[in-house]
Amino acid sequence: MGRIGFVFSFLVSCFFGLVAPAEEGMYPVSELGRLDLASHGLEMEVADIFNTEKTCLVDGICRVNGCTGSFVSENGLIITNHHCAYRAIQNASTAERDLLKNGFSASDRSEEIRAPGYVVRITESFSDVSNQVLEIVTPEMTFVERTKAIDRRRKEIEKQAETDNPGIRAEVAEMFTGKTYVLFLYTFIKDVRLVFAPPASVGNFGGDVDNWEWPRHTGDFSFMRAYVAPDGSSADYAKENVAYQPKRFIQVAAQGVNDEDFVMLLGYPGRTARHKTASFLRYEQDVRLPYIVDLYGWQIAEMEKAGKQDRAVALKLSSRSKSLANVEKRSRGQLKGLKRANIVAKRAAEENRLQAFIAGDPERRSKYGAIQNEIARVYAQLTESSEYELNIQNLRSASRLLSIAVTIYDSAVERAKEDLEREASYMDRNFGRTIQRMKLSQKDVHVPTDKILLRGMLARLETCSAASELVPLKTALSSREETAKFVENLYASTKLTDSDYLDSCLSKSPEQLRKEDDAFLNLAVDLYPEYKRLRELGKEREGRLGQLYGDLITVKQAFLETNFVPDANGTLRLTFGHIRGYSPEDAILKTPITTLAGVVAKTTGVDPFITPQRIIDLHAEKDFGRFAHPVLNDIPVAVLYDTDTTGGNSGSPILNAKGQLVGVNFDRAFEATINDFAWNRSYSRSLGVDIRYALWITGKVYGANHLLEEMGVN
Amino acid sequence: MGRIGFVFSFLVSCFFGLVAPAEEGMYPVSELGRLDLASHGLEMEVADIFNTEKTCLVDGICRVNGCTGSFVSENGLIITNHHCAYRAIQNASTAERDLLKNGFSASDRSEEIRAPGYVVRITESFSDVSNQVLEIVTPEMTFVERTKAIDRRRKEIEKQAETDNPGIRAEVAEMFTGKTYVLFLYTFIKDVRLVFAPPASVGNFGGDVDNWEWPRHTGDFSFMRAYVAPDGSSADYAKENVAYQPKRFIQVAAQGVNDEDFVMLLGYPGRTARHKTASFLRYEQDVRLPYIVDLYGWQIAEMEKAGKQDRAVALKLSSRSKSLANVEKRSRGQLKGLKRANIVAKRAAEENRLQAFIAGDPERRSKYGAIQNEIARVYAQLTESSEYELNIQNLRSASRLLSIAVTIYDSAVERAKEDLEREASYMDRNFGRTIQRMKLSQKDVHVPTDKILLRGMLARLETCSAASELVPLKTALSSREETAKFVENLYASTKLTDSDYLDSCLSKSPEQLRKEDDAFLNLAVDLYPEYKRLRELGKEREGRLGQLYGDLITVKQAFLETNFVPDANGTLRLTFGHIRGYSPEDAILKTPITTLAGVVAKTTGVDPFITPQRIIDLHAEKDFGRFAHPVLNDIPVAVLYDTDTTGGNSGSPILNAKGQLVGVNFDRAFEATINDFAWNRSYSRSLGVDIRYALWITGKVYGANHLLEEMGVN
């Protein structure tokens, strides 16, 4: 497929004096020409990173579900993180054949394992559709109507684009809230397979203890492969599918990097909130983050308890528990960072300066004078109702069975509507994946844990006055015994743990589901009006904030004269910087390259600090092949750098000045969890696995030399 | 008093090839001539550090209870640690006049506060008395007899020396176990007063969290003063006493130190076990240290709970709880260090080499072949009975009232004997201080906490089969209710919390005490035979180990050809090294100077990270006077160096190459807790408060400029 024309205008108006930028910035690739990357150390043509006319580096980058990956061979071989492939490894593992524990290496393509739920997308083009989206808005609309109208218009644009470009996936992304919209077109690959994964003792070495920390000693990488139909078109998994041929693949540079080397990352960073107000940050700091830390801390502890007795249960719960632990610790880091760096106060001070600027001109004052206050009001209201709202939403997410029941009923209601009127996940183009995710989550239901979590959430709701108004839970919340009875009855009278039953429900109408008289479905039906009310309330807030933030960006543009990059939103970005240590506190320096000796030193033999004996032996023998660091005389394991990343950059290639892959990004340092709200030159550090470690593990330790050959590393 | 002649021979025989030593080594000052200190950076004459003919640096150093201090003026002003003066500050504090919290500064000498229980000693001379001590031993003696005979001979020598040198304190110290004994003579000052202490928020900044850690930000210093009778003789506290005039005082160097500067410490390191066997280390690692960590952890938690509600209770318990916390964390560090550095295995390997050397010669084999095994057998037996012995000994120390009761009864029994036959603490020369310590500990009894600790110890004994044989506790240990009843009855039927009653008991005979019918005294009487049995058992082990270790040292001398320094034993030593950072783990460097900016950054406003507002303000104003570090442009707070220290070096002066005071030693880094067992060039680091911080706090922050003047800092 040829590359579609690009429209650049959407960002131009937002870039002021973009000279000699700091390392802050997740730049849309259309803007690279404005950055003097050569002065920072780039040794290739910017036009070879991104180009509308010919193939370029960007063609070798893909999104792998919520992560990033790089094509590293002409046959669709992808390198990404172990934690990005985790769901696939877990799904293929049983207590008897424990791939998570033992690792996996396909000796040829026939052995590669299907990774259900995985999709790979490659950015093909993008164009500004802001006018098309916003022309739908009229001043008479309520905020709910505004949100719904914009949503529908975005869906129409996507549908039209997919009709015009068969086989292509279209997404309209919001770049600046309420102001700028861009249509992205993606090649969309649905047959993804697991090729190689080190044992979790390598790929997740240090586990939750080391997660979000530097120094790091985790071999967090794995290989997957993209498959398409024999005719090259995107297709669901089929035996006869063939390896996808990317337009370009990234060259692996086995010589690695050194301290102070220039590096850049391409990837799909998820969400940042750098353009959000102090009032939003205050809500995060005072309400949402502490709630998450507390809630997830409890849920993780329950899952750990359950998993301790039985490896099969541990496997079922591992993916969920790992992902909660990740968010929990990140949230703790953010809380600490917000307070330590006094970020709310700093942003409030910026807003005061903006307010003074607004007040300086009568016209500006009348148009924009109230915006910041009005935004603050939305978050104040959110804060007020937060205890109830957070608990009732997490009631649904805590119990997998309740979540499945609500999704089934919601789907029946939504699927009865015209396609464009439905919630996005129930539209024809998305419904297949929604069902697949639900089935994967059903596979991992562990009823005793599910019960404990549901009971715990009900106990939280019990102390929450707004919940007592909720008719369907009135009896359940009246006493501890009633709660226990209520919960026992739910699990005794449901068939939703049965996958055939779940399938049968998917074709039923709301009326038919109500007649099923399944306890969880009944609860879902009873709670449905409340969840619907909350969804509408969300749309109302979104509409209000969308309009306010749109205006805020406009007046900020007039005020600010520094660089101005849209918040991360899951679209393709480039960030650059250098391999560089930092000082997290007085009298401590962290240097930017760790070694295999550090792995051995950390090894205690107790999870998560177990190291396979073969690695310890090879280290003792100094059998490093060509992968030793020339000065350290050891295998470099992980590297640290000052680029600007966030979640979604997991699996991003660390590229050297020539655009060659020298590592795979997988995390940030603890102090850099705060990146989501603010970047800081002194301590915003990202980190990745050194390609030399990945290659040594793959080839020397686990003998998959055919993969090194496929990547052209001999 | 003139200096007494010195005898050097005691060490000469133990020093082999003492050339270019590592920084390891707590050298007796008599040996300094053998070290080429100039090549390491010393810029003064060794003869001016220690000299038998004229006054020297050593005359400016004193022992302050278990700590070290330096005279820093001609009027007996002593600088030592805040934690060394802690007991005095605590003793003078009430909830109303909280010197611990608010700090204390005497505006002139009349305001200086008596520090009961404190004594200062200054080393005047020493001489080898090994032959005199060991000639008493005959081959026919049992091990208990051996221990008692040596003890008695040491006491005789001390008594004779004190008779020959009126006003002087004599102590025979064991240098090499069972082999070398040295008589030390000390000037002994009994009137010590508190002059200046910063608030605990400065002097104990970071508290137990930062204790044993680097980087450090604690202003752990205070000033005391030694007083003597107007005629210059040592005297108990009296109003008319005058400031002691030391023969020499240490010059304070307000310019401080820098990275890589030479430093040396003089002081009274307490105990090391570098000459102990692998079997001893195994006992420490597997038995005693884990027990201490567990036991003290629990006791600290109980004291914290009790102190949380009431500042007066917190003050009562603070000194004890702080000291337990110190040992608990050190023990944790030691456990970690023993395991990480594989020290037991390394020492066992050394012993194997020694054993091979012994086996290589028939005479040596017959004489020394069994020693190492026999030593191992002692520790094996100790291990076997450890659960019971540790618990029964800690029963006594856990309950202050039981401890007082046992001491009273023990004293009555022992005081009936001839002076030289008594346990040392009941001899006439020591009894006064024994009583004083007991009274100070009675003052801090908090009955509810005492009860909890006693009950907890009984619960531990309950699960210990050997304890069930113990008649006095038989009923108490039969059930939980009986334990509770037993404990309640003890506290209901004792008068030992009353200080007058305690006084009255001190003059009573054992028979009279038995007639008192005080519940705690009764329990002490009942348990006495068992404690006596354990004491004899201890002497038996001591005798056995003394003989074995004496022989072991002899054969080691024949085997080893590196330096060989006696273990620390509370006598005067010098250690030297450099201001130097280290890498505690892969990719982390710790640099050796912390700053006031670090104090501010650590300040959370929550104990132990509170900082007085005045310090924060002065820091913001950069009002550093002459005390700023020229490069850092900030006040240096603490410094790190690679000298060889242990407990007892607390308060030691950090001396620069010219012998001037640039800081006050107060701790080690966590990795260096292992110093007690083994020293390591890579991570054995000690740390102290930078004199610039101490001077800035004293003068600028708290206005005690008269002290700076007294020290000659203008």
Q: CA–CA separation, B714 vs A361, rounded Å?
A: 58
Nearest to A81 by CA among A186, A216, A172: A216
Q: Is B593 on the interface with A (CB under 8 A)?
A: yes
Query: Distance of CA B289 to CAs B292, B294, B330, B395, B526, Å?
Result: 5, 9, 9, 17, 30
Cα nearest neighbour of B340 on chain A: A601
Q: Among partner residues B587, B590, B592, which is closest to A594 by beta-carbon distance?
A: B587
Q: What is the pLDDT of residue A563?
A: 53
Q: What residues are paired with B193 via a beta bridge?
A: B114, B225
SS3 A576: strand
Please judge whether B598 and A587 are an interchain contact, meaning their C-beta atoms are less than 8 angstroms apart: yes
- Output the DSSP codes for A455-518: HHHHHHHHT-GGGGG-GGGTTTTT-HHHHHHHHHHHHHT--TT-HHHHHHHHT--HHHHHHH--
B174 close to B130: Cβ distance less than 8 angstroms:
no
Q: Is A217 on the interface with B (CB under 8 A)?
A: yes
Q: CA–CA separation, A582 vs A685, rounded Å?
A: 8
- Output the DSSP codes for A1-37: -PPPP---HHHHTT-----S--S---EEGGGGGGS-H
Q: Is A586 on the interface with B (CB under 8 A)?
A: yes
User: Is the CA virtual torsion A309, A312, A317, A318 positive or negative?
Assistant: positive
What phi and psi values does residue B677 have, to the nearest 5 degrees? -110, -30
Best residue in B213, B214, B586 to probe A by mutation, most A CBs within 10 Å? B586
Q: Quick check: B127 pLDDT over 90?
A: yes
Please judge whether A588 and B589 are an interchain contact, meaning their C-beta atoms are less than 8 angstroms apart: yes
B593 close to B259: Cβ distance less than 8 angstroms:
yes
What are the tens digits of pLDDT across the range B57-88? 999 999 999 999 999 999 999 999 999 999 99
Chain A: closest CA distance from residue B696 (Å)? 19
Chain A: closest CA distance from residue B593 (Å)? 6
How wide is the angle at C-alpha B385 spanned by C-alphas B379 and B388, nearest 5°?
140
Q: Is A597 on the interface with B (CB under 8 A)?
A: yes
Please judge whether B598 and A586 are an interchain contact, meaning their C-beta atoms are less than 8 angstroms apart: yes
A18 close to A34: Cβ distance less than 8 angstroms:
yes
Q: Is B636 on the interface with A (CB under 8 A)?
A: no
Q: Among partner residues A340, A587, A598, which is closest to B585 by beta-carbon distance?
A: A598
- Which stretches of A624-712 are DSSP H helices? 691-695, 705-710
Instruction: Indicate which residues of B carry an active-site annotation.
Output: 83, 220, 650
Q: Is B595 on the interface with A (CB under 8 A)?
A: yes
Catalytic residue check, A220: yes
- Tell me whether residue A691 is exposed, middle or buried, using C-beta atoms within 10 angstroms of its C-beta: 0 to 12, 13 to 18, 19 or more: buried
Pairing between β-strand A636-641 and β-strand A593-595 as defined by DSSP bridges? antiparallel
Q: Which residues are CB-neighbours of A525 under 8 A, at least 6 positions away? A: A409, A510, A513, A514
How many residue pairs from chains A and B have C-beta atoms closer than 8 A? 62
Nearest to A113 by CA among A92, A143, A129: A92
A642 close to A580: Cβ distance less than 8 angstroms:
yes
Residue ranges of chain A with per-residue pLDDT less than 50: 1-21
Report the percentage of chain B scoring pLDDT > 90. Answer: 90
Q: CA–CA separation, A377 vs A367, rounded Å?
A: 18
Please judge whether B598 and A588 are an interchain contact, meaning their C-beta atoms are less than 8 angstroms apart: no
Q: CA–CA separation, A409 vs A424, rounded Å?
A: 15
Q: CA–CA separation, B303 vs B315, rounded Å?
A: 11
Instruction: Please name the helix (run of DSSP H) or strand (run of DSSP E) that holds residue A265, with its range, or none.
Output: strand A262-267
Q: What is the pLDDT of residue B562?
A: 60
Mean pLDDT within B410-435: 96
The contacts found for B233-239 with CB under 8 angstroms, 24 or more apart, are: B233/B167, B234/B167, B234/B187, B234/B188, B234/B189, B234/B190, B235/B190, B235/B191, B236/B190, B236/B191, B237/B114, B237/B116, B237/B190, B237/B191, B238/B191
Q: Among partner residues A591, A595, A602, which is closest to B589 by beta-carbon distance?
A: A591
Q: Which residues of B touch A598 (CB under 8 A)?
A: 585-587
Chain B: closest CA distance from residue A207 (Å)? 18
Q: Is A688 on the interface with B (CB under 8 A)?
A: no
Write down the catalytic residue from A98, A151, A208, A220: A220
**How many CB atoms within 10 Å of residue A34?**
16
A495 close to A522: Cβ distance less than 8 angstroms:
no
Q: Is A510 on the interface with B (CB under 8 A)?
A: no
Cα nearest neighbour of A598 on chain B: B586
Where residue B14 falls among pLDDT bands split at 50, 70, 90? very low
Copy the structure tokens of residue B335.
């456990």
Tell which B residues from 313 to 352 touch A, by Cβ distance under 8 Å.
340
Where residue B466 falls among pLDDT bands split at 50, 70, 90? confident
Q: What is the pLDDT of residue A340?
A: 83
Q: What is the pLDDT of residue B21?
A: 47
Annotate A665-677 with b (16+ C-beta within 10 A) or e (fewer): bbbbbbbbbbbbb
Q: Which residues are CB-neighbours of A682 under 8 A, at least 6 positions away? A: A582, A583
Q: Quick check: B444 pLDDT over 50?
A: yes
Q: Is A633 on the interface with B (CB under 8 A)?
A: no
Copy the structure tokens of residue B207.
């508290």
Mean pLDDT within B113-142: 96
Q: Which residues of B touch A259 (CB under 8 A)?
A: none
Q: CA–CA separation, B524 vs B508, rounded Å?
A: 15
Q: CA–CA separation, B265 vs B652, rounded Å?
A: 6
Cα nearest neighbour of A582 on chain B: B588
- Supply the mean pLDDT for chain B: 94
Q: Among partner residues A217, A587, A602, which is closest to B591 by beta-carbon distance?
A: A587
Annotate A586-609 with b (16+ C-beta within 10 A) or e (fewer): bbbbbbbbbbbbbbbebbeeeebb
Q: Quick check: B409 pLDDT over 50?
A: yes
A256: left (phi over 0), alpha (psi -120 to 50) or beta: left
Chain B: closest CA distance from residue A682 (Å)? 14
Q: Among partner residues B587, B592, B601, which is closest to A585 by beta-carbon distance?
A: B601
Cα nearest neighbour of B589 on chain A: A589
Please judge whether B585 and A597 are an interchain contact, meaning their C-beta atoms are less than 8 angstroms apart: no
Q: Which residues of A touch B587 (CB under 8 A)?
A: 214-215, 581, 590-595, 598, 640
Q: What is the pLDDT of residue A3?
A: 41
Chain A: closest CA distance from residue B49 (Å)? 32
Q: CA–CA separation, A397 vs A457, rounded Å?
A: 10
Please judge whether A587 and B601 are an interchain contact, meaning their C-beta atoms are less than 8 angstroms apart: no
Give the pTM.
0.85
Q: Is B594 on the interface with A (CB under 8 A)?
A: yes
Please judge whether A585 and B598 are an interchain contact, meaning their C-beta atoms are less than 8 angstroms apart: yes
Q: Which residues of B touch A592 (CB under 8 A)?
A: 587
Q: What is the pLDDT of residue B6?
A: 39
What phi and psi values does residue A417 have, to the nearest 5 degrees? -85, 170
Please judge whether A598 and B592 are an interchain contact, meaning their C-beta atoms are less than 8 angstroms apart: no
Q: Evaluate the omega torsion of the peptide bond into residue A21 and state whether it is cis, within 30 degrees of 0.
A: no
Please judge whether A215 and B594 are an interchain contact, meaning their C-beta atoms are less than 8 angstroms apart: no
What is residue B224's DSSP assignment?
A: E
Please judge whether B587 and A586 are an interchain contact, meaning their C-beta atoms are less than 8 angstroms apart: no
What ranges do the domains of chain A cover? 278-557, 573-690
Q: What is the pLDDT of residue B23?
A: 65
Nearest to B661 by CA among B612, B601, B713: B713
Q: What is the pLDDT of residue B15?
A: 40
Cα nearest neighbour of A595 on chain B: B586
Chain B: closest CA distance from residue A670 (Å)? 15
